[in-house]
Structure 1
């Protein structure tokens, strides 16, 4: 699990170093901040709700999942040629 988190942080930093047209910056920030925000949030939530400290890896996985959703939507828009303006107009 730590290797996956390390890879996600490295990939997030690489995304943040590229221009905004290549990959969305939101996905990069979610990948980078998954561990430092996810573990304390998961630990605090499980301690508050269940009264006991549980597995802390659920928190980072939520952020990693959201990052991959953002990257997947960006890839779909890029492959189909949709722009963000056409997505906003259709909604």
Structure 2
């Protein structure tokens, strides 16, 4: 969708959309909007705070994807991202 609208890629489209929504709703910036949204979702779902919500989500995703625990999932994800960045820098 982003490419059809003249954006370079989906990431560029997402950044633009988030900034526009943030300003439209009266937030100072996209970060402020994101913090507010995460806090609101956390409370709505019955979590104590955003950190508790994030920990639960990461654990649930880790188990769902077959990882032993969240740390194992994080190591795998970080390694995968580093490989992608390295490949992009080599222009492969």
TM-score with structure 2 setting the length: 0.29
Which structure is larger by alpha-carbon Rg, 1 or 2?
Answer: 2
Going by fraction, where is helix more abundant, 1 or 2?
Answer: 1
